[in-house]
Structure 1
Amino acid sequence: MPGPGLEQHPLLPWLALHAAPGMGPVTARKLLRRLGETWYRDPAALRETGLSEELLTLLLTPRQALLARLLAWQDAADGRYILTQADAAYPPLLKNLHDAPLMLFVEGELNALSCHQVAVVGSRQPSYVGRENTKNLVPQLVQAGAAITSGLALGVDGLSHRAALDAGGTTLAVLGSGLEQCYPKRHQALAAEICARGGTLISEFEPWVRPLAHHFPRRNRIISGLSLGVLVIEATERSGSLITAQFALEQGREVFAIPGAWQNPQAAGCNRLIQQGAKLVCCVADIVDELTEFSLAAIKIHPSATVETLPYPDLLDNVGIEATAVDLIASRCQQPVQEVVTRLVELELAGWVEAVPGGYVRARRS
């Protein structure tokens, strides 16, 4: 049963707008500009707005039971927050959007919301190159002063959260479900670690809401809306990451993309973004130069390692960062396939190459 006094709770008007089917954030903001936050106590003025009778009925439906359930969720554990656009802790960059969420459900470190953020997104099935680019660029962005924001999905999202944590940075995850319904489930431990290490989980959906397909584009506008810029690591031409990039462009955010070989379908989305005006990224300086909130001077330059003599240099010269088939390597080296296979196994054991679907790639040691 709803607790006493909830009829006057300040969250109730926001919850009524948030929960009414057909009342999106754009329409809700127009109503708030016209009537202010006291609209809930003035049904007569509300009826003069021209809204349909059906929507008026929904807006004036009692929401105390839903509010009581949300407050119980908030009070069940430390570090849980329900924010409205009226709260000082609501992220200012996000609040400036015309379709900013009316309410945010947050778990973790509230101050993380005010950090300068860079969104890192990409394929759910990144190639070896995509994984390596994520692992290399995210720590440098952290060193430059950026918090890393992504969507907790498999692939580049999860790798970017992990790389930020391993670099001692702050990372924020925006979910396409409620915070009690972590998706994908295999990232539950990662979500808990994000909170435990000073990061934040964010959703515009009530905590118990399950992930649905139409939630994820809505989530993507929040990822870009929180951030100063969006880096697309790797994406096909039909990737959800391109939706995030499109939101970023509409929101006036910087868009960055890493190019790839035109034959690689995982690079097609990034290459298309670059054709459309996204900034081509070859190193972290290409991002930091566009975002004055961060500093290249903070990035640690590691001394060059002692040069080692390369084993089988003629073979290694024909293994690149894109997967190369064994028969193609043998053809380039003009060596028997069986001899090439034997040497590749030796090089893999020594850390010079790595076996991947489709052949071999250079390992980080190279």
Structure 2
Amino acid sequence: MTLEKQMIKKIMRGSPNYPTRLNDLYDPPSCIYALGNVQLLQRPMIAIVGSRAASPQGLSHAYFFAQSLARSGALIISGLARGIDGAAHKGSLAAESQTLAVCGTGLDITYPKEHFGLAQQIARQGLLVSEFMPGTGPRPFHFPKRNRLIAALSLGVIVIEAAKNSGSLITARIAADLGREIFALPGNIHDGHFAGCHQLIQQGAKLVCKPKEVLEEILLP
């Protein structure tokens, strides 16, 4: 399924709309593509990431955290994936706020396909971003590249339900290397869905149970 290719804007590095936080990367993209409100690239962002195969409780937590933080003035950023990402975007939109989705495809191609309606809503109410030119389909190596943009754009990353080998840990590690705040929700110690979160907490991520605990660490303008 495709979105409107003619509405996609190309933003070159060095132009006024190019987000300065991307320059913290050792390999910032030479350009990014955007569909929606490009002014949102200057907003303070908090990332919410986690498992694609999340439990109902994990989806509820992502929705609740996103909704609460969006109402407090944060722009919620995630990767449009199944599971936690989708729930975070939906929670932001339910707060009558905007959200930003970083995609692992060209912006005229929606992946996963079942998020086509969500992507359309984000394009109307928020912003879709990619470093891949229109027409580029999903490839496995695209998603680590997407994750580094999420890490760089955010002031902090909240990880919800991440297994030990989750791509969300890539996002968190890049964000930590860039000096961003890292938060993780704890869970059942016998449930592998939380092994990555517990590992992050052991490595120094802040254990959080409520959105206000994130806001105590990240001061929004």
Does residue 249 (structure 1) correspond to residue 155 (structure 2)? The answer is: no
SS at structure 2 position matched to 1:273: helix
Q: Deviations over 1:184-224 (max 9, x none)?
A: 01111100100111x11111011101110001000000011
SS of 2:76 mapped into structure 1: strand
1:211 and 2:138 equivalent? yes
Q: Is the radius of gyration larger for structure 1 or structure 2?
A: 1
Distance in 2 (alpha carbons) for counterparts of 1:150 and 1:190: 13
Residue correspondence of structure 1 range 1-366 to structure 2 within 5 A: 76-77=6-7, 80-197=8-125, 199-293=126-220
* AA at the equivalent of 2:103: L
Q: How far did residue 135 of structure 1 move?
A: 2.1
Task: Give the AA of the match of 1:103.
Answer: C
Shift of residue 98, structure 1, vs aligned partner: 2.1
Measure how far apart 1:274 and its partner are: 0.2
Query: Aligned partners of 1:98 and 1:237: how far apart in 2?
Result: 26
Q: Which runs of 4+ in 1 moved over 3 A?
A: none
Deviation at 1:148, TM superposition (A): 0.5
- Counterpart code for 2:80: L
Higher strand share: 2
Distance in 2 of aligned mates of 1:223 and 1:205:
14
- Do the aligned partners of 2:78 and 2:100 also contact (CA within 8 Å) in 1? yes
The C-alpha deviation readout for 1:238-277, integer Å capped at 9, x for no partner, is 1111111111111111110000110111111101100000
Question: CA separation in 1, counterparts of 2:209 and 2:66?
Answer: 13
Cα distance in 2 between the residues matched to 1:135 and 1:274: 22
Over aligned residue pairs, what C-alpha RMSD do you find? 1.2
**Whole-angstrom CA distance in 1 between matches of 2:213 and 2:140:** 34
Aligned amino acid, residue 36 of structure 2? G
State the identity as a percent.
Answer: 44
Cα deviation, residue 97, structure 1: 2.2
Structure with higher RCO (Cα < 8 A, 6+ apart): 2
Looking at structure 2, the residues matched to 152 and 236 of structure 1 have their Cα atoms a distance apart, in angstroms, of 18
Could you tell me which runs of 5 or more consecutive residues in structure 1 were left unpaired when the two chains were aligned: 1-72, 295-366
Structure 2 stretches lacking a partner, 5+ long: none
2:29 alignment partner, SS class: coil
Deviations 1:164-184 (A, max 9, x none): 001111100001111112110
TM-score normalised to the size of structure 2? 0.95
- Alpha-carbon shift at residue 128 of structure 1 (Å): 2.3
Q: Work out the CA distance in 2 between the residues paired with 1:163 and 1:222.
A: 21
